[in-house]
Structure 1
């Protein structure tokens, strides 16, 4: 099962105490599903949610599932952390999401053999973003925008968070990680707003987005995957460059230099890798 891929863009949350929704989430079209033992589960239901996760992971339904399953465990000082990790020591768990990640030791403690996904949700976690990105077994950084805004006293989602988003993108790049995953859009029925949020995150360097409802998934997938128009553009650039043997060229009245050619090559390479991945699965 693929756990480290640039083609995993959409991460759909499902409450850990709703096992009836696990399979539905896996069939919603998301590239990965996050079973949530933390925020989505009331304190009195933590044990039941953990048991539900364990039972489902051992079921034939889960064994037949092809969608990567991540688990958001409770935070290190919650009193549930150790039990959550024990429940996650199964082949069906493709990654551990660590909420309110603030210390490298906490991230390291979350390693069960599966990749770790630190969720940056606090000012202290952000202040240590470089160290967290470089911690062992870290696969990708996630930005928990809602809790982060609360911790920072920020009111707003765009310019107000641009500095923080850009720093997370930079830290990911410097650590050699996949592009980070942006926080959820709280809108469920406002398709235009969800799509705009996705396009904005992609433009500033994010590689995916967290989802809280299946309705959001198609917009995330469409926004972060190369469009047919982009693929056509890339092919045109590559063919034009090949025809002249390299150097600067003009395509559709615009100058094309080496950076644009490299961008076009990346688009085609990613498209081919995705096609090969889908064929292999």
Structure 2
């Protein structure tokens, strides 16, 4: 995986391709503003929505750190094939392409090959949302063209007959996070939380995703973004503890050491450094103690 192929983590705002929605999404400053041609668009509107989405993406204003994205229809469908042909001819640059219903690495590689000649900086990402995909994570995540992973809880729950609860989705989410870590995929995005009237539920869901190892979470409304950002940002207490662990490890020269009432070895030091990285605090190992 190269940096050129990697999609951002953090917040992914998913929105219909209707007039004004992309501008509204960009004002909210997510890490990825993703126009959706699949679930948000009924079959009879697919052609119109495709044309509109590509026009909106091509005409998007300067959008700072936000990356533009497009969720196409499944490549195995007529609409999905038409999406990819139109995208290849649109001349877009630096875009996330999210493929639904991915169940093999070959699907990703065919799409990347089709887009590579006409699209510069494309990040091909896999939407994992079927039981078959969960059983093939090692194959899918080994693909050299894979730029990121998104979990689709709604379709997964519908396919398995499970409820969209913390306990029923725990295995799927933890399996995705572990497999992505094994293949060094840096962008692992959890499914959106669909109840817009339950901010506390969103907070709990986002915190659980963070605890399982996801690097970000999808959103379906701009109002959800601050809660998601807060859940993935380390708390003051976590930063204080991480500083203590790193400082103690530096003073001990890499040996096991006691910090904050616990014995600290290399795995806990690595975890502490990761917390400080998420908080934007740069650290370097030091033989003289302290955080450099």
TM-score using structure 2 length: 0.84
Residue 256 (structure 1) shift: 2.8
Residue 187 (structure 1) shift: 1.3
Counterpart in 1 of 2:156? 148
**Structure 2 CA distance for aligned equivalents of residues 260 and 58 of structure 1:** 45
- Give the one of 173, 192, 212 matched to 1:204: 212
After superposition, where does 1:167-206 map in structure 2 within 5 Å? 167-178=175-186, 180-206=188-214
Indicate the RMSD between aligned Cα atoms, in angstroms.
2.3
Q: Which runs of 5+ in 2 are unaligned?
A: 117-121, 283-292
**Structure 1 CA distance for aligned equivalents of residues 208 and 83 of structure 2:** 34
Higher mean C-alpha deviation, range 173-182 or range 37-46: 173-182
Counterpart in 1 of 2:286? none
Residue 123 (structure 1) shift: 1.6
Counterpart in 2 of 1:157? 165
**Structure 1 CA distance for aligned equivalents of residues 244 and 111 of structure 2:** 46
Whether the 8 Å contact between 1:189 and 1:215 is mirrored in structure 2 is no
Whether the 8 Å contact between 2:97 and 2:124 is mirrored in structure 1 is yes
After superposition, where does 1:34-53 map in structure 2 within 5 Å? 34-53=34-53
**Structure 1 CA distance for aligned equivalents of residues 229 and 5 of structure 2:** 17
Whether the 8 Å contact between 2:5 and 2:146 is mirrored in structure 1 is no
Residue 244 (structure 1) shift: 4.2
- Give the one of 118, 125, 128 matched to 1:117: 125
Q: Deviations along 1:55-112, whole A, 9 cap, x unmatched?
A: 22222xx151221011100112321223312333433452111111123332222222
Q: Which runs of 5+ in 1 are unaligned?
A: 275-281
Counterpart in 2 of 1:65? 63
Counterpart in 1 of 2:6? 4
SS of residue in 2 equivalent to 1:88: helix
Counterpart in 1 of 2:285? none
Residue 143 (structure 1) shift: 0.9
- Give the one of 228, 239, 248 matched to 2:247: 239
Higher mean C-alpha deviation, range 20-29 or range 122-131: 122-131
Counterpart in 2 of 1:94? 95
